[in-house]
Structure 1
Amino acid sequence: MKRVEGKVAAVTRGFHGIGAAAVTRLAEEGASVAILDCLDKEGEALARKLVARGYTAH
């Protein structure tokens, strides 16, 4: 549906559970997502996975 297409979303605790699900869903809906988490390496890994799928994530 692309409900948030063209928007930017910042998700805190974006690597864990519900945060990761929210990040993924927002990306699927067209948002550029910023994953904010104290676990840098894990957050970066999720961002790389989303970018590989064609989404915009940092």
Structure 2
Amino acid sequence: MTGSGVGTVERIHVASGTGGEPEPREAVEAVADRGLRGDRYFDGDGIYNEQADLEP
């Protein structure tokens, strides 16, 4: 990353449960060491797959 390190969030989506589809939100609350309130990872319901095929 170059420059000032300042960015802009254009869209944000959260998924409320395991396997749930992410849904757009106008605003979310970010909680340190927990994540985004209302998202599946916040309550430990989500599983992060580090092996997912991601395009660069």
TM-score scaled by length of structure 1: 0.28
Computing the radius of gyration from Cα coordinates, the structure with the larger value is 2
Q: Which has the higher contact order (CA 8 A, sep 6+)?
A: 1
TM-score scaled by length of structure 2: 0.28
Higher helix fraction (1 or 2)? 1
